[in-house]
Amino acid sequence: MSRNGEGGFTLLEVLVAFVIAALALGIMFDAAIGGLRATESANRYQEALSLARSHLASIVSAGLAGREVSGDDGHGFHFSVRIRPAGTAKLARGTDADPTQAVPPQATLYAVTVTESWKGDGGDKQIRLDSARLGSGPAKGG
């Protein structure tokens, strides 16, 4: 307010208001950019998880035991699948089993690790899924 009783703002008051508004807008802009980065990061993690689950679901038998398979999934994603025997057990014969069979049937548990990696904000990122698959017969490969 001016001293002579007229209403209004002084130039200093207007400048202070503009500075406060500029600071507030800067903080809101920074928060919005941070939100967009977090959303993009979450989308990349979700895509990596989907790709890793797809590789895990594609393992239908233990024929790859002892091997590592890796490759490019596109869009900057790279995968690695490792299958290795975790243990073998002799199965009990059922009542209808052939008694002349010399060797009892076996089953092998295979440890499966699927890793999906990509470049993200702050460096290399990766997601890893560990699972197990049961295969018939003794372990093949390393």
Distance CA 97, CA 68 (A): 36
| Predicted confidence pLDDT, tens digits, the chain (142 residues) | 445 667 788 999 999 999 999 999 999 999 999 999 999 999 999 999 999 999 998 886 545 566 788 999 999 999 999 998 888 888 777 666 666 766 677 888 889 999 999 998 889 999 999 998 887 766 665 4
CA distance 118 to 44: 9
**Inside any domain, residue 16:** yes
Nearest to 115 by CA among 56, 75, 46: 56
Per-residue pLDDT at 27: 96
Residue 1 domain flag = no
pLDDT at 105: 76
**Residue 128 falls inside a structural domain:** yes
The count of structural domains within the chain is 1
| Inside any domain, residue 5 | no
Give pLDDT, residue 97. 64
pLDDT of residue 114: 95
Residue 135: what pLDDT?
Answer: 78
In a domain, 141, yes or no: no
Angstrom distance (rounded) from CA 81 to CA 130: 10
| pLDDT value for 48 | 96
Q: Domain containing 70: what range? A: 11-91+105-136
Q: What is the 3-state secondary structure (H, E, C) of 82-105?
A: EEEEEEEEECCCCCCCCCCCCCCC
